[in-house]
């Protein structure tokens, strides 16, 4: 198959759909890989590195789309990109279609087959192509929070690790999923005092086993939440209720009980945030202050570290990408996890939440895939 990777064009997106390491894997499977010039500059990989990995470099995105059977990207296609997709093409990327009627219409009209990273599943009920970005965001949350705690950035001037003879900072993490676990590892690694809250008792048991007493766990009630948030120097918001907006667990009223100059990092901001006072911010202006509490609410945190993020994403996407390239639509027909990733096929919506959200008739993936 001819596999194409255009340069990402969404504002401030520096990741790339295929790293040179992934290109080598596709080439080793006998595929031709076509990469747009400078596609990898954001991760320090120039055209020469891609050529050495076996890619053919082309001048424009149009060349990539024209010459490829399958397109591998990071972000959802932009209007100029969905106009270049065609019926016999597979698109493999993040899509997030439910809140995006324009893009959905563009993909439906293109006739392409679109597999969304965010809905591919695994045997454990997880979303394996979403998890690496939660890992990055969770770890970054502590770096970002520690910086915001510095006095010059408006924070209360506490160092998370403390020093011998001075107590460490206190970190409260609301939500003990992928983001929460990774934030806790970083915070504990720095020497902070860490408490995690979750609603799932089995998950709290797992966390207790993982940290073996190094991190405190607490069932998340209003009372427990207030006690932990009021005493924290840094609070991380990391809850997720699948398919729903994040619950507003920390109200505006509760901010008055928090320490002045303490910091919240609301990682769940991409689902609306779990602090009532949160609103999305960008990497160029990541924080704002409400009632003396510094809020960090960047909606695309992994974008700050494209080198790490692009490699983490490629590690997760490579397996299914190779299946798609090796077998085409048959790979989707054969594998239920890849089928869960199928969102659009030849003008039909095959993902129920997307169909429900945007008023399309659902076409079951099993029935629309007529593979010889
Ligand atoms: N801002 C970013 O750049 C960025 C990047 C990656 C992920 N995220 C977001 O981070 C959030 C967390 O993602 P994740 O992968 O860790 O999800 P996850 O499903 O792995 O974990 C969510 C956890 O929240 C817990 N939870 C649900 N309700 C709760 C409550 N009332 N109190 C306490 N805990 C509760 C669940 O039991 C679960 O353990 C999501 O909204 C995700 O979209 C944001």
**What is the Cα Rg of the chain in Å?**
22
Residue with tokens 């596709």: 26
Domains of the chain: 2-127+306-371 (3.40.50.720), 131-304 (3.40.50.720)
Indicate which residue's Cα is closest to atom 30 of ligand 1: 199
| C-beta of residue 76 within 8 angstroms of C-beta of residue 100 | yes
Query: Phi/psi zone of residue 57: left (φ > 0), alpha (ψ -120 to 50 degrees), beta?
Result: beta
| Catalytic positions | 96, 270
Tell me the CB-side half-sphere exposure of residue 28, using CA atoms within 13 A: 9
Indicate which residue's Cα is closest to atom 10 of ligand 1: 268
Helix (H) or strand (E) holding 339: helix 336-341
Q: Which residues line ligand 1 (CB under 6 A)?
A: 133-134, 137, 174-180, 197-200, 203, 220, 238-241, 246-247, 249, 267-271, 299-302
| C-beta of residue 126 within 8 angstroms of C-beta of residue 104 | no
Tens digits of pLDDT across the chain (372 residues): 999 999 999 888 999 999 999 999 999 999 999 999 999 999 999 999 999 999 999 999 999 999 999 999 999 999 999 999 999 999 999 998 988 899 999 999 999 999 999 999 999 988 999 999 999 999 999 999 999 999 999 999 999 999 999 999 999 999 999 999 999 999 999 999 999 999 999 999 999 999 999 999 999 999 999 999 999 999 999 998 766 678 899 999 999 999 999 999 999 998 889 999 999 999 999 999 999 999 999 988 999 999 999 999 999 999 999 999 999 999 999 999 999 999 999 999 999 999 998 999 999 998 888 654
Mutate to test the pocket of ligand 1, among 15, 267, 278, 316 (most ligand atoms within 8 A of CB): 267
Ligand 1 mean position, distance from CA 177 (Å): 6
């Amino acid at each position: 198959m001819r596999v194409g990777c255009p340069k990402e064009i969404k504002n401030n997106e520096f990741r790339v759909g295929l790293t040179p390491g992934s290109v080598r894997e596709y080439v080793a499977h006998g595929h031709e890989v076509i990469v747009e010039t400078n596609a990898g500059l954001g991760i320090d990989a120039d055209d020469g590195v891609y050529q050495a990995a076996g890619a053919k470099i082309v001048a424009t995105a149009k060349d990539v789309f024209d010459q490829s059977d399958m397109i591998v990207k990071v972000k959802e296609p932009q209007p100029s990109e969905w106009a270049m997709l065609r019926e016999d093409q597979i698109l493999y990327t993040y899509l997030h279609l439910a809140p995006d009627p324009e893009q959905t219409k563009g993909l439906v009209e293109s006739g392409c087959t679109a597999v969304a990273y965010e809905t591919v599943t695994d045997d454990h009920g997880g979303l394996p192509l979403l998890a690496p970005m939660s890992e990055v965001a969770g770890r970054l949350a502590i770096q970002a929070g520690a910086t915001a705690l510095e006095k010059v950035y408006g924070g209360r001037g506490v160092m998370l690790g403390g020093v011998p003879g001075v107590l460490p900072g206190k970190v409260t993490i609301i939500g003990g999923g992928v983001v929460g676990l990774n934030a806790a590892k970083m915070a504990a690694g720095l020497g902070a005092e860490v408490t995690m809250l979750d609603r799932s008792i089995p998950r709290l048991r797992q966390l207790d086993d993982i940290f073996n007493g190094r991190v405190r766990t607490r069932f998340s009630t209003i009372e427990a939440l207030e006690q932990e948030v009021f005493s924290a120097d840094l609070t991380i918001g990391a809850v997720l209720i699948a398919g729903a907006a994040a619950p507003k667990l920390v109200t505006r009223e509760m901010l008055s009980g928090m320490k002045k100059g303490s910091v919240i990092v609301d990682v769940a901001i991409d689902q609306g945030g779990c602090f009532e006072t949160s609103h999305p911010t960008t990497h160029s202006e990541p924080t704002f202050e409400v009632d003396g509490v510094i809020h960090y609410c960047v909606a695309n945190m992994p974008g700050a570290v494209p080198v790490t993020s692009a490699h983490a994403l490629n590690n997760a996407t490579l397996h299914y990408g190779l299946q798609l390239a090796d077998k085409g639509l048959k790979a989707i027909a054969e594998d239920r996890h890849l089928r869960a990733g199928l969102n659009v096929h030849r003008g039909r919506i095959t993902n129920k939440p997307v169909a429900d959200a945007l008023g399309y008739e659902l076409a079951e993936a099993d029935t629309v895939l007529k593979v010889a």
